[in-house]
Amino acid sequence: GENVEQHPSTLSVQEGDSAVIKCTYSDSASNYFPWYKQELGKGPQLIIDIRSNVGEKKDQRIAVTLNKTAKHFSLHITETQPEDSAVYFCAAMKDTGNQFYFGTGTSLTVIP
């Protein structure tokens, strides 16, 4: 099956700095890669996603890049704010599948 690895497990940045979280996947058939943000006491919330036919996608301060050859994708958050503090999960899914394989999560702390 698919194996998704995520790094780092914890990340602290100063407010206004950028944060980068990286994930690798093992199954070259995976072609959909969402990123979820989970705040304390809540379920994961989709913040951005990318499909394998696209190399980069941006939504305001958040961007995701995908390198299919290397089988890795990254989340970039610019101009971080304290409300960005949360746990972030990457995931991978195949077109023929109907389950997500999640990374182990990154706890992001933005220091005011």
Partner 1 sequence: KAGVTQTPRYLIKTRGQQVTLSCSPISGHRSVSWYQQTPGQGLQFLFEYFSETQRNKGNFPGRFSGRQFSNSRSEMNVSTLELGDSALYLCASSLAWQGRGYTFGSGTRLTVV
The reply on whether position 97 binds partner 1 by CB under 8 A is yes
In angstroms, rounded to a whole number, what is the distance separating the alpha carbons of residues 51 and 104?
21
* CB closer to partner 1, 17 vs 39: 39
The reply on whether position 5 binds partner 1 by CB under 8 A is no
Instruction: Give the residue, chosen from 10, 26, 81, 99, that forms a contact with partner 1 under the rule CB under 8 A.
Output: 99
Q: Give me the least distance between CB of 16 and partner 1, in Å please.
A: 30
x-or-dash string of contact with partner 1, 10-49, rule CB under 8 A = ----------------------x-x-x----xxxxxx---
Tokens 């958040």 sit on residue: 62
Tokens 């979820």 sit on residue: 36
Distance of CA 44 to CAs 37, 39, 70, 95, 96, Å? 5, 7, 27, 21, 23
Per this entry, what is the length of the chain?
112
Report the interface residues with partner 1, using CB under 8 A. Answer: 32, 34, 36, 41-46, 89, 91, 93, 95, 97-105
